[in-house]
Amino acid sequence: MLSSPASSSSRLSAIQPGVVSGEEYRALQQACRAGGYALPAVNVSSSTAANAALAAARKNGSDIIIQISAGGACFYAGQSFPNEHQAQILGATALAQHVHLLAQHYGVAVILHTDHANRSLLGWIDGLVEQSRRHHEQTGRPLFSSHMLDLSTEPVSDNISTAATLMKALTPLGIGLEIELGMTGGEEDGIGMELHPHETACNPSLYTSPEDVLRAWKTLSPLGMLSIAASFGNVHGVYKPGNVCLNPDILRQSQTLVAQELQTSPNPVPLVFHGGSGSEEHDIRKAVDYGVFKFNIDTDTQFAYARGVARYVEDHKTAFTHQVDPDTHRPLKKYYDIRRWMQAGEESFIQRLDETFRVLGARGRSIAAPARTTTP
């Protein structure tokens, strides 16, 4: 049985493996920032990717953030699901129930999160809050640990006032809110625009101002558990070197301003790094030093999964064109079995995440259970 509580004497050891919410969510966030590490926030759109993310966390002795977009939720519900709005809500609910059921047995703590919701997707979040309300009535816990509101293309005042309204619904259920300030470039699951191959993503709208971070933090942090995706040149997707110009110093300036104005300890704001795929290790480390606890990764893990499957297909070509080998007459079922090539994808996905756990300093840092693998 893997679901025994951690035996360490620290206060944070009270966290049970499984999906966190409320004070446990806050404690996990604080453990990251106090310990100088961050957790990968892995986008998934299927149970196979969710299981690979859980397996990667267990292998690395780390906790993890698993997130799903509205498009990913539709895929989770099934391509032929008749109603898109319902598919967004029920697909994300199905993933949440899947992770709630399994995560505790993997022995790690999981922050379960929804990715970018712009104004047109507010109904999706409302539907998920309703699902969390029902789950809370039955179990005392919400379905999701946090949701993301992305109104970064709107005036900051509208962004903040909508976030305030949403937080009033989330906080009583123990759910946090991530907001975006400044924009993330590129395209992610239908939100934003892919860069032209010769275009650089260094335009001013991709860099937030420390003053906006202060304004949002002052207004919203008293209302519940707030995290901020403060943009510093981040771009979704992977482009050739030189197309993306990250300036993590914006994060340091934002933290310093908030700490000075509100007389807090250093790095008071839990920050989020979007568009982590393809980023340089030194930029990632700086961002973590400046209070990033959540590092979003999607493009790189998708590519890793696809590469794993592609290598498998390449190695077993005949099994993907014949049920029986035309030369040896041996049946090839065990090679084209869906589980075999998906497993190859999962293994490659896990290997890619091994690297991310290392760069983020998260290996062996799980506060839910004693670390099982502490490979340096």
The structure tokens 């505790």 sit at 104
CB of 360 to Zn ion, least distance (A): 17
Selected catalytic residue, list 115, 150, 189, 298? 115
Minimum Å gap between C-beta 163 and Zn ion is: 16
CA distance 179 to 176: 10
Residue nearest to Zn ion (CB): 274
Distance in Å, CB of 139 to Zn ion, minimum? 29
Nearest Cα neighbor of 61 from 43, 44, 45, 37 is 37
Cβ-based nearer residue to Zn ion, 275 or 308:
275
State both tokens at 138: 């039955």
Residue 312 in contact with residue 341, Cβ under 8 Å? yes
Token output for 291: 């209070």
The b/e string for 125-154 (b: 16+ C-beta within 10 A; e otherwise) is: bebbbebbeebbeeeebbbbbbbbbbbbee
* Site membership for Zn ion, residue 135 (CB under 5 A): no
* Contact flags string 221-260 toward Zn ion, x per CB under 5 A: ----------------------------------------
Would you give the binding string for Zn ion spanning residues 273-302, x where CB under 5 A is met? -x----------------------------
- Strand, coil or helix: what is 40? strand
Examine residue 98 and tell whether it contacts Zn ion (CB under 5 A): no
CA dist 164 and 161 (Å) reads 5
Q: Measured from the CB of residue 123, what is the shortest distance to Zn ion in angstroms?
A: 20
CA angle centred on 354, ends 349 and 357, rounded to 5° = 120
For Zn ion, the closer of residues 274 and 294 by Cβ is 274
- 8 A C-beta contact, residue 211 and residue 154: no
Number of chain residues interacting with Zn ion (CB under 5 A)? 1
Distance CA 223, CA 214 (A): 15
Which is nearer to Zn ion, 93 or 118 (by Cβ)?
Answer: 118
Which of 27-35, 47-55, 271-279, 350-358 is the region at the interface with Zn ion (rule: CB under 5 A)? 271-279
Active site annotation includes 115? yes
Cβ at position 188, least distance to Zn ion in Å:
5
Kindly give, in sequence order, each residue whose CB lies less than 8 Å from that of residue 376, ignoring residues fewer than 6 positions away. Answer: 363
DSSP of 71-83: HHHHHHH-TT-S-
Q: Which stretch binds Zn ion (CB under 5 A): 73-81, 241-249, 270-278, 335-343?
A: 270-278
When the beta carbons of 98 and 274 are compared against Zn ion, the nearer one is 274
Cβ neighbours for 207, distance < 8 A, ≥ 6 positions apart: 182, 231, 232, 233, 247, 250
Only one of the segments 123-131, 133-141, 239-247, 266-274 lies at the binding site for Zn ion (rule: CB under 5 A); that segment is 266-274
Question: What's the rounded Cα separation, in Å, for the pair 49 and 339?
Answer: 13
Span from 87-95, 256-264, 268-276, 313-321 in contact with Zn ion (CB under 5 A): 268-276
Minimum CB distance to Zn ion smaller for 8 or for 153: 153
CB nearer to Zn ion: give 207 or 335. 207
Active site residues: 115
List contacts with Zn ion (CB under 5 A). Answer: 274
